[in-house]
Structure 1
């Protein structure tokens, strides 16, 4: 599992996917989220605006990422 540090209290799911270079655009992020390809904390997440906070885990294409919002 890769730990991903963020500077703010939260990051939205579509922004996160772009931030870690899993997608190249917001349109691509929207499509893969809508298609149910992304899980947050073990559950399929269909909302691209889902706020990810410290400790949340994202799964995409068999890879796991953990949000670290600690400064």
Structure 2
């Protein structure tokens, strides 16, 4: 599954993304999830819940999906 994640702010942390896509129910579970599961950010293995994710970055979680970070939709529309 490929999905766009629209950023409301300049960046989102990896822990926030995991909560946003409903893989965890609280931020405290992010550390455990990243220790148990494989997560790639731009093709590199990542285990830091505080990793900042900016527009243009790709996050891949095997057996869950691929997520693309994009600017807030309203900002994109205004720029066009």
The two structures, once aligned, show a CA RMSD in angstroms of 1.5
- Scaled by the length of structure 1, the TM-score of the pair is 0.85
Gaps of 5+ in 2: 76-80
- Scaled by the length of structure 2, the TM-score of the pair is 0.77
Give 1 or 2: higher helix fraction. 2
Runs (4+) of structure 1 moved beyond 3 Å?
Answer: none
Deviations 1:23-52 (A, max 9, x none): 222232211213352110111101110000
Asked if structure 2 preserves the Cα contact closer than 8 Å seen for 1:36 and 1:44, the reply is no
How many aligned positions are there? 71
Larger Cα-atom Rg: 2
Gaps of 5+ in 1: none
